[in-house]
Structure 1
Amino acid sequence: MNTIAFDPILQEKVRKAKERISENMHILANEPSLAYYRLQENIRKSLPSVIDKRLEAEKFHRDLQGSIYDLEYSIGELNVMRGTQETFKNILELSKTALFLKQQIKYLESKKIKKNNLFDYKRFSVNIALDLPDIQDTLKETASKVESIMTNNSRHSTMY
């Protein structure tokens, strides 16, 4: 029989090479499942916060849509108001005209009253001139009564 001599160094190198090949085969065989496991673990941890952010973004979107609607409505109303500017100018002009006309009427009425008072005074003075001899004593008596009342009133008012 032939005897084969075993070299211990060679046997150790072969054993290490065999272990490395086996380990690499094991890693290659299990690598996809390990990657899927890591992905699943990452998704499980981050998904709730992603969902919360998505719901928050949807709420902001609804609020933004409502604000946009309100803004468009306000712009439309401002455009309508811009069209009423001419109407308000007309109202202002008509108010100024009405105020001016009222002042004119008031002035004419005051002038008319003064004219009527002057006319009455003239009429009265003409009558006094004609009736003067008849009422002269009565006028003197009335004047003295008025003077006495005035002096009495002035004394009473200084007392208080």
Structure 2
Amino acid sequence: MGSRDYIKITTMANNVPRKTVKEADSLQTDEGRLVKNCLQNTESILLAAANEPSLAMYRITEHVRKSVVQMVGTKETSQATSDRLTGAIYDTDYAIAASASAAKSLDTFRAINADLKNAIHISQQLAYKMQQRRSSGHKK
């Protein structure tokens, strides 16, 4: 019999004890047949209602309505994370390019350092010669 084996039925009149479908099948009375037909009709109606295309569309619509809010929030969070990640990538690329540029300019900085040392040395020589001229002018 399937799922109907577990369905219990009660009659309203005289508080008749509960009977299972199997017991109802075993009854050969009109009451047993009426109960069996009623259960079969109810089962077919429930199956038809549960499998109704408009009901399925309603369930899908409800699922979408409930899920869209969460999906939009997730999309916004993902977009914000993507934007932050893109910014971090640009910053990292800029830092890499700046450090590569600094590495290339090392020779230039060394030449500037050598020129500064040379200028300091020449300045010191000029100061020494100026001092010698002043001191030689005072002795005369």
- Normalising by the smaller structure, the TM-score range is 0.5 to 0.7
Instruction: Give the distance between the partners of 1:32 and 1:108, measured in 2 at CA.
Output: 110
Aligned-residue offset at 1:86:
1.9
Residue-pair matches, total: 112
Q: Deviation per CA, 1:112-148: give whole Å up to 9, x if none.
A: 3212221x1xxxxxxxxxxxxxxxxxxxxxxxxxxxx
| CA RMSD after TM alignment | 2.5
1:31 aligns with 2:50: yes
2:122 maps to a residue whose letter is L
Q: Once the 2 structures are TM-superposed, how far is the Cα of residue 44 of structure 1 from its aligned partner? A: 1.6
What is the aligned partner in structure 2 of residue 19 from structure 1?
A: 38
| Structure 1: tracts of 5 or more residues without a match | 1-7, 121-160
| Higher relative contact order, structure no. (Cα contacts within 8 Å, ≥ 6 residues apart) | 2
Distance in 1 between residues matched to 2:90 and 2:81, nearest whole Å: 14
Q: Distance in 2 between matches of 1:111 and 1:46?
A: 93
State the structure with more CA Rg: 1
Q: Give the TM-score of the pair, scaled to structure 1.
A: 0.56
Unpaired runs of at least 5, structure 2: 1-26
Which structure has the highest helix share of the two? 1
Identity %: 23
Alignment of 1:141-152 (within 5 A): none
2:56, 2:35 → 1: CA distance? 27
**1:40-93 Cα deviation digits (max 9, x unpaired):** 212123323423432443354345334423432332232112211221122112
> What is the TM-score with the length of structure 2 in the denominator?
0.63
